[in-house]
Amino acid sequence: MTRIDRIALLIIPALLAGVVLQAQIYEFRGEGRTGIFNETNLLSEWPSGGPPLIWEVSGFGTGYSSVTPTADAVYVTGRMGDYDIVTSYSHDGTKNWEINYGRAWDRTYPETRSIPTFYNGHLYLVSGQGDIVCVSANGEKRWSVNHFEKYNAPAPRFGISESPLVADGKVFVTPGGSQTSLVAFDAETGNLVWATEALDEGAQYVNPTMIEHNGRRMVVTLLTNTIIGVDPSDGTIIWSVDYAGMQSGRARVNHAVTPLFRDGFIFVTSGYNHTAVKLQLSPDGSSADVVWTNDDIDTHHGGAVLLGDYLFASNYQSNTMGDWVCVDWNSGETKWATRWNTKGSIIAADGLLYLYEERRGNLALVRPDPRGLDIISEFRLNTRSDGPFWAHPVIHNGRLYVRHGDYLAVFDISN
């Protein structure tokens, strides 16, 4: 029996049974964009100097984006001159190819921030000036469209940072503005599938997420003032929540954290002294109501993780300072807020937390304890790049990928 015959034996019965086969997706912050990587048998503590370094590389361009490891390659974006570049590496660090995929942002913080989404054998990216691009796994550009130009939408102050959400054969991105809020393009052709009504609000730096509640799927994201849930089949805005109206004081609007979802509840946070909010969807998913708010967990842009009944993240004290925070998922009560270096990004795997602080590049392995910050191990990234350590770490197949500027280090954290 040939390999094709074996694949057919798996696929044909599933199709006859009406089962929808989902394409393999590798995306920002792991499956479901939760920050939790489905890995087991990882080191429960690190050697004093950190986990063993497998390989390191530089020369792929400056940026704050995370890497996207897949079964066959590792993809990373970076800015070179006036353009955003995506580079492919083999799992031994050998460079496969690089391609210019769009125009880089040319004002404040011009470094690349968009993380490649790998879906059904192709990469989907957004350049700093709004070029949505599909690139094949061998480095050939398949299609490109600029959604900000198409809808005459104003770019955010720091350029486009969105990493495209790809699902159900569609690419979802957020131009905002006076013509639409969220749009969907066909993943194969780049043709427009639908555009939502316009709420006349600007796009932010949020990566939208796909959720499913009682059999109803929806795309959840955050515009300048409003949290929205959108029907992925036709672009109908199912519900909206006035996030700006929850703020008790004056706060800058630079939303940059992907919403989290569990069991009918949605968590949204943003830095610059915004309140965080937990929403509850109605049984049919047609509306969302506030359950609690919390002013301690105003995460800047490092993401949040929900493990068990507790949320873990860092908060915003200033552009360069913040504490690490734990909040009870059910009650909204702050369990602790502790200083460790400064704020940064957070992910989880195999029951443990990984912290990456943004000022000096220290990493910590942490037990998720609601009684206090329980650091098991820590080390400092040995890097030759400049600037803040804003890229979120990534874990894939027992390896920890840590990026800083024009430098990537890959560590062995398998047990």
pLDDT in tens, 32-90: 999 999 999 999 999 999 999 999 999 999 999 999 999 999 999 999 999 999 999 99
Average pLDDT of the residues in 296-316: 97
Percent of the chain with pLDDT over 90: 90
pLDDT digits (tens, 9 = 90+) for 204-224: 999 999 999 999 999 999 999
Specify if 7 maps to a domain.
no
Tokens, residue 20: 């929808």
Contact between residue 402 and residue 379 where contact means Cβ atoms under 8 Å apart: no
Average pLDDT of the residues in 193-203: 97
Tell whether the model's pLDDT for residue 7 goes beyond 80. no
For the chain, how many structural domains are there in total?
1
Q: Work out the pLDDT band at 383, boundaries 50, 70, 90.
A: confident
Specify if 10 maps to a domain.
no
Average pLDDT of the residues in 393-412: 98
Q: Work out the pLDDT band at 24, boundaries 50, 70, 90.
A: confident
Specify if 235 maps to a domain.
yes
Question: Which range of residues forms the domain containing residue 336?
Answer: 24-412
Q: Which residues pair with 349 in a beta bridge?
A: 37, 352
Specify if 55 maps to a domain.
yes
Q: What is the CA 123 to chain-centroid distance, rounded?
A: 15
Average pLDDT of the residues in 99-105: 97
Q: Work out the pLDDT band at 251, boundaries 50, 70, 90.
A: low
Specify if 170 maps to a domain.
yes
pLDDT value at position 6? 39
pLDDT value at position 340? 98
Q: Work out the pLDDT band at 23, boundaries 50, 70, 90.
A: low
Average pLDDT of the residues in 382-390: 91
Specify if 137 maps to a domain.
yes
Specify if 9 maps to a domain.
no
Specify if 11 maps to a domain.
no
CA distance 279 to 374: 29
Domain holding 279: CATH number? 2.130.10.10
Q: Work out the pLDDT band at 247, boundaries 50, 70, 90.
A: confident
